[in-house]
Chain A
Amino acid sequence: MGRVGVAVSVAAPPVRADALKIEVRKVLGNPAAKGRGLAVEARFNVATGFTILFGPSGAGKTTILDCVAGLQKPDSGRIRVNDETFFDSEKQVNVATRYRNIGYLFQTVALFPHMTVRQNIEYGLAQLDARERQARSGEIAGSFGIAGLLDRRPAKISGGERQRVALARALVTCPKALLLDEPMSALDRNTKSRILDDLRVWNEDHAVPILYVTHEREEVYALGDRVLVVEAGKIVAEGTPHEVLSRPQRESIAQLAGFENIFDCSVVAAHPDQGTMTCRIDRSEVTLEVPLTRVPTGRSIRVGIRAGDILLASSQPQDLSARNIIGGKITSLTQQDITVVADIDCGANFTVHLTLGARQSLGLATGKPVWLVLKTYSCHVLQ
C-alpha cells in the first residue's frame, strides 16, 4: 500500500454539490397498520461539508444512513458516492458494506470493548504494515486530542473521549463519506462543540460529504450548512437552518423548531393593504394580528409563537409598534435553569419565557395581571 493520505498536506479538495447522491425507497414493517410501519422515500444530494438530517425519532433517519452504509438494503433506489455506484436496484448493484469505505459513527459509539484505543483506531488499517498503521493512528490521535489514551480500554475513558476515538477510528481510513447518527446526544454542549470543531478542521483538508442525523435543534443551528427535515420517512423541507427553522411551514417542524405556543385559530378579517390578517383563537375572545396568507376569512389556521418572542408588561403598554397587546393573569411561574417559564391565562393559555432579572424587576407573581406584547411577525402561520 502506498503512502496515500499520510500527513500529506495538499490543497483543499474541490467542493461538490452532489458528492453523495441518495435515492432510497424502503418499507419497514406495515405502514398501513397504525403506528407500526414506515415507508421511507427520500431523494437528495449531499454536498461536501455538513448536511443535517433533522427530524423526530422514528422518522427514518437512521434507515437512510444504514442504506448509505449498506447495513440495510433499500427496496429500490440508487446510492452513489463520487460517481461510484454503491446501490442500484435497476442494475442490480449492491456493494457490500466493507467495500464501500464510508465512515459511520453510531449512536452507541460501538468501540470494541476488548481492544485498546490504539487497536480500535487501527482496526480499519489491516491492509497496511505495522509501521504505517502506527504512523497513521498516531497522527489522527494527535489531531483529535487522544494521543495520551492510546493504551487504554474504552471502559477507562470518558464519554467525550470515546466519541473522539470513534471519530478517529472512522476517519483514519480516509472514508469517502461520513455518517453520524446522533453521535453526540449524550455529551454536554462544550465537549460536543469542541469535537465538532476538530471534525470541521479535519474536513477542511478532506472535503468529504458529512451526513449528520439529529433531533436537537441546537445542533442544527450550530452545525449548519444545510438542513433536510425528515418526517415519516420523507424529506419535507430543506434549506439553511435559518430558513427551515425560523419560518417553519409545517406544524411538526414548528414543534421541533421550538414553538411553545401553538393555537388553532379562525381567520376573522384580512387586511391586504397592511399585509396582515386578524384571527381569533378558537374557544376564546383573544384575537391576534398575523402575517397575511391566502387562507380565506372564516377558515381555520394554526399559529405558532415562540415563548421567548413574547414580551411581558406589568402595566398596559401604550405607544408601541407591536400590534398585539393582550391582557391576562399569571397562573404559574416556574424556573428552569436560568429561564423563568410563565403560564398566562388570557382566555387562551400562553407560555412565556423570561429572564430571572425580568421576573424580579417586574415583581411577577402568580395571580398578577400582566399584558403580553407580540409583534405580528412573531406569529407564524403553520400549514
Chain B
Amino acid sequence: MSLEALILTLRLAVLVSLILMAISLPLGYWLAMSRWRWKFFVEAIVALPIVLPPTVLGYYVLVAIGPLSPVGRWYRDVTGGSLAFSFRGLVVGSVLYSLPFAVQPIGAAFSSVDRNLLNASATLGASRWRTFWLVVFPLGLPGVLTGFVLSFAHTLGEFGVVLMIGGNIPGATQTISIWIYDQVQSLNYAAANQMAALLLIVCFVILTLLYGLRRTRKWGVWGWQ
C-alpha cells in the first residue's frame, strides 16, 4: 500500500472535479439552452474522450503541453517549470479526459428543466444569472451531483492518460492505478491486491450512494412534482 500514491490520487481527483464543475456548469447550461446550429459540433468534441483511447488523448496532450509547444514554452516562461511530467500537467490531462462525465449529466439535467419555468422567471423580472441560480441549478442539482461524482470516480481510476503525460514519478505523478500496475509488473501481487480492492470498494460505495440518492424523491429530477 502506497499512502503517497493514494493521497496524490485523491488530491488529483478532488482538484479535477472542482475544476470540471467550474467548466461544466456554464458549458452544460450553454449546451442545454443554445439553439446554435453548429452546437452538435461542440457536443461531439465534448464526447470525444469517451471513445478515444486514453493513449491517443494522452499523446496529443503531451505534444500540446510539451516544452517544444507554444503552450509548454509559455508555461515555462511564466513558471519556470514544465507542464509535462508534472502534477499540474496531470490535472490538465485529467480535466480533458473526464470532461464528458461532468458535462453530459449536467447538460441533460439542465435541458430537462421545463422551459416555461425559465419564461415565468423572466416575466417576473429575473435576470438569466438569477434564473440560473434560483431555478435551473436547484432543479438540475441531481445531474450536477452525478456529474461531480462521476468525474471524481473517473479521475480516480484513470491510467492511460496519466502514463502518457505524467510518467511514473512517485510523489509527483504516480497515481494508484499506475502504482498497482508497477506492483503487478514486479509480481508483487499481494500489494496490488490490497490497493485494487480499496479502489474497487471506494468506487462501488460512491456509485451506490449516487444511485441510492437518485432513487429518493427529493433528489429525483422531477421529485418535486
Residues in chain A within 8 A of chain B (CB atoms): 69-71, 96-104, 106, 108, 110-114, 123-124, 126-127, 153-155, 169-170, 173
Give Cα A103–Cα B130 distance, bound, in whole angstroms.
18
The answer to whether B225 touches A123, judged by C-beta atoms less than 8 angstroms apart, is no
User: Shortest beta-carbon distance, B59 to chain A, in Å?
Assistant: 45
Given A104-B123, A173-B125, answer yes or no on A110-B116 (Cβ-Cβ < 8 Å).
yes
User: Shortest beta-carbon distance, A211 to chain B, in Å?
Assistant: 13
The answer to whether B117 touches A124, judged by C-beta atoms less than 8 angstroms apart, is no
Give Cα A31–Cα B134 distance, bound, in whole angstroms.
39
The answer to whether B225 touches A155, judged by C-beta atoms less than 8 angstroms apart, is yes
A residues in contact with B117, CB < 8 Å: 110, 112
Within 130-167 of B, Cβ neighbours of A (below 8 Å) are at 130, 134-135, 138-139
Of A96, A114, A124, A126, which one neighbours B138 at CB under 8 angstroms? A114
A residues in contact with B124, CB < 8 Å: 98, 123-124, 169-170, 173
Q: Which residue of B lies closest to A96 (CB)?
A: B122
Q: Which residue of A lies closest to B217 (CB)?
A: A155
Of B119, B127, B138, B224, which one neighbours A153 at CB under 8 angstroms? B224
Let me know if B121 is at the binding interface, CB within 8 A. yes
Of B120, B126, B127, B222, which one neighbours A106 at CB under 8 angstroms? B120
The answer to whether A110 touches B139, judged by C-beta atoms less than 8 angstroms apart, is no
Give Cα A97–Cα B130 distance, bound, in whole angstroms.
14
B residues in contact with A104, CB < 8 Å: 119-120, 123
Give Cα A124–Cα B127 distance, bound, in whole angstroms.
11
Give Cα A102–Cα B114 distance, bound, in whole angstroms.
20
Across chains A and B, which 8 residue pairs bring their CB atoms closest together, nearest first? A124-B124, A113-B224, A110-B116, A97-B122, A110-B120, A104-B123, A98-B125, A106-B116
Q: Which residue of A lies closest to B130 (CB)?
A: A126
B residues in contact with A170, CB < 8 Å: 123-124
Give Cα A173–Cα B123 distance, bound, in whole angstroms.
10
Q: Which of B121, B124, B127, B130 has the most CB of A within 10 A?
A: B124
Of B119, B126, B135, B224, which one neighbours A71 at CB under 8 angstroms? B119
Q: Which of A96, A98, A126, A169 has the most CB of B within 10 A?
A: A98
A residues in contact with B126, CB < 8 Å: 98, 123-124, 126
Give Cα A96–Cα B121 distance, bound, in whole angstroms.
12
A-B CB contacts (within 8 Å), total count: 69
A residues in contact with B121, CB < 8 Å: 112, 123
Give Cα A102–Cα B117 distance, bound, in whole angstroms.
15
A residues in contact with B134, CB < 8 Å: 112, 123
The answer to whether B119 touches A110, judged by C-beta atoms less than 8 angstroms apart, is yes
User: Shortest beta-carbon distance, A223 to chain B, in Å?
Assistant: 22
Give Cα A170–Cα B125 distance, bound, in whole angstroms.
10
The answer to whether A124 touches B125, judged by C-beta atoms less than 8 angstroms apart, is yes
Give Cα A186–Cα B23 distance, bound, in whole angstroms.
42
**13 additional A-B residue pairs with CB within 8 Å, beyond A98-B123, A101-B125:** A69-B123, A71-B119, A71-B123, A96-B122, A97-B122, A99-B125, A104-B119, A110-B119, A112-B134, A153-B224, A169-B120, A170-B123, A173-B124
Of B116, B135, B138, which one neighbours A108 at CB under 8 angstroms? B116
A residues in contact with B119, CB < 8 Å: 69, 71, 97, 104, 106, 110
Of B120, B125, B224, B225, which one neighbours A126 at CB under 8 angstroms? B125
User: Shortest beta-carbon distance, B224 to chain A, in Å?
Assistant: 4
User: Shortest beta-carbon distance, A166 to chain B, in Å?
Assistant: 8
8 A-B pairs (CB sep. < 8 Å): A101-B125, A104-B123, A110-B114, A112-B121, A113-B224, A124-B124, A126-B126, A153-B224
B residues in contact with A123, CB < 8 Å: 121, 124, 126, 134
User: Shortest beta-carbon distance, B225 to chain A, in Å?
Assistant: 5
User: Shortest beta-carbon distance, B86 to chain A, in Å?
Assistant: 43
Q: Which residue of B lies closest to A181 (CB)?
A: B116
The answer to whether A155 touches B123, judged by C-beta atoms less than 8 angstroms apart, is no
A residues in contact with B116, CB < 8 Å: 106, 108, 110
Give Cα A173–Cα B120 distance, bound, in whole angstroms.
13
The answer to whether A108 touches B114, judged by C-beta atoms less than 8 angstroms apart, is yes
Given A104-B119, A110-B119, A123-B134, answer yes or no on A155-B127 (Cβ-Cβ < 8 Å).
no
Given A110-B117, A126-B130, answer yes or no on A98-B122 (Cβ-Cβ < 8 Å).
yes
Of A98, A110, A113, A154, which one neighbours B127 at CB under 8 angstroms? A98
The answer to whether A97 touches B123, judged by C-beta atoms less than 8 angstroms apart, is yes
The answer to whether B122 touches A71, judged by C-beta atoms less than 8 angstroms apart, is yes
Q: Which residue of A lies closest to B138 (CB)?
A: A114
User: Shortest beta-carbon distance, B43 to chain A, in Å?
Assistant: 25
The answer to whether A102 touches B138, judged by C-beta atoms less than 8 angstroms apart, is no
B residues in contact with A114, CB < 8 Å: 138-139, 224
Given A112-B117, A112-B135, A126-B130, answer yes or no on A102-B125 (Cβ-Cβ < 8 Å).
no
Q: Which residue of A lies closest to B121 (CB)?
A: A123
Within 89-142 of B, Cβ neighbours of A (below 8 Å) are at 114, 116-117, 119-127, 130, 134-135, 138-139
Give Cα A99–Cα B122 distance, bound, in whole angstroms.
9
